[in-house]
Amino acid sequence: MEKLLKIARENIKNAYVPYSNFRVSAVLELNNGEIYKGVNVENASYGLSNCAERSALFSAYSNGVKKEDIKTLMIYTDKDHFVSPCGACRQVMRELMEEESKVILANSKGEFKVMKNKDLLPYGFTKEDL
């Protein structure tokens, strides 16, 4: 977890947050050790902004990653409390990551909260519901 935290702390500097000044960094670790990073990217048209979690996942998928390749997603903010993914991110994570994939929330104090992807969105909508 310390390795991911170090990457997340460095990556958070890339966040584009001129409106909220609320930086978020996401680091996706694959089973083979590869890393994909994401940050939140805001837009003057707020609905067009993208969260760090989705940025990391979309980057990974754009490079051929599949859900079974994903081991862990760390979500870091430079706040002293934990910040969990928004509802849109939880839905995307539910679809693009295995249910058992590890999700780690990390804060500026170096504390961690670890859970499984499936625990973030109970009764989430999946392709099986179609």
Catalytic residues: 53
> 82 by DSSP, 3-state: which?
coil
Spatial neighbors of 78 by CB under 8 A, at least 6 apart, are 9, 12, 23, 108
| Token pair recorded at residue 74 | 């760390």
Cα dist. 109→14, 27, 66, 105 in Å?
Answer: 20, 17, 32, 12
| Token pair recorded at residue 34 | 């590869």
